[in-house]
Amino acid sequence: MTENSLVKTALNKAMALCASREYSSEDIRLKLYSWGLDASGAISVMSTLIKENFINDKRYTEAFVKDKYNHYKWGKVKIAAQLRAKRIPSELIEPALAAIDDGQYRQTIRDILTSHRRFIKAKNQLDLKGKLLRFGLSKGFESHILYDILNDPEE
């Protein structure tokens, strides 16, 4: 297969992928390399996809934050770490995370901790708080908010 036809095939495949759901530019770049494109071919395909608005990292970041927060109940720390792993710039991550309502965010943390508390066997109150804190941290919630909620559940 010639280089030009490989680029066209990859472009059509990438357009079909991006039309079905959101992808970050890093996701598509890795796919292009896995399909056997060289750097110049990948740059060509990426520029076309960005120009035609098939790839938009701002749109991807907003959708990612909304999805992971609403459906998986991830905290801001975990969401930001996953986005940084996909090489999304901080200028896009911070505004997307700021769109999460603080009151609703705290209530979500309270609800998650309350529902998880039913499954925990603890020797005493300190052990219970430690286990709930570790669980909240594993979900990606900020430690200072978890401390506030665990020390004053009626906050």
CB atoms within 10 A of CB 25: 17
| Tens-place pLDDT, residues 86-99 | 999 999 999 999 99
pLDDT at 92: 96
What is the pLDDT confidence band of residue 4, given thresholds at 50, 70 and 90?
confident
pLDDT at 154: 63
For the chain, how many structural domains are there in total? 3
Mean pLDDT of 4-15: 91
47 plus 76 within the same structural domain:
no
* pLDDT more than 70, % of the chain: 97
Give the structural domain span for 24: 3-55
109 plus 80 within the same structural domain:
no
| Tens-place pLDDT, residues 65-121 | 999 999 999 999 999 999 999 999 999 999 999 999 999 999 999 999 999 999 999
22 plus 40 within the same structural domain:
yes
Concatenating the DSSP letter of every residue in 53-78 gives TS--HHHHHHHHHHHHHHTT---HHH
| Tens-place pLDDT, residues 16-62 | 999 999 999 999 999 999 999 999 999 999 999 999 999 999 999 99
- Interatomic CA distance for residues 56 and 95, integer angstroms: 15
* pLDDT more than 90, % of the chain: 92
51 plus 63 within the same structural domain:
no
- The encoded tokens of residue 139 equal 């979900």
44 plus 78 within the same structural domain:
no
CB burial of 5-24 (b: ≥16 within 10 Å; e: otherwise) equals ebbeebbeebbebbeeebbb
Name the CA dihedral angle for 63, 64, 67, 68, rounded to a multiple of 10 degrees.
-160
CB atoms within 10 A of CB 138: 10
12 plus 34 within the same structural domain:
yes
47 plus 80 within the same structural domain:
no
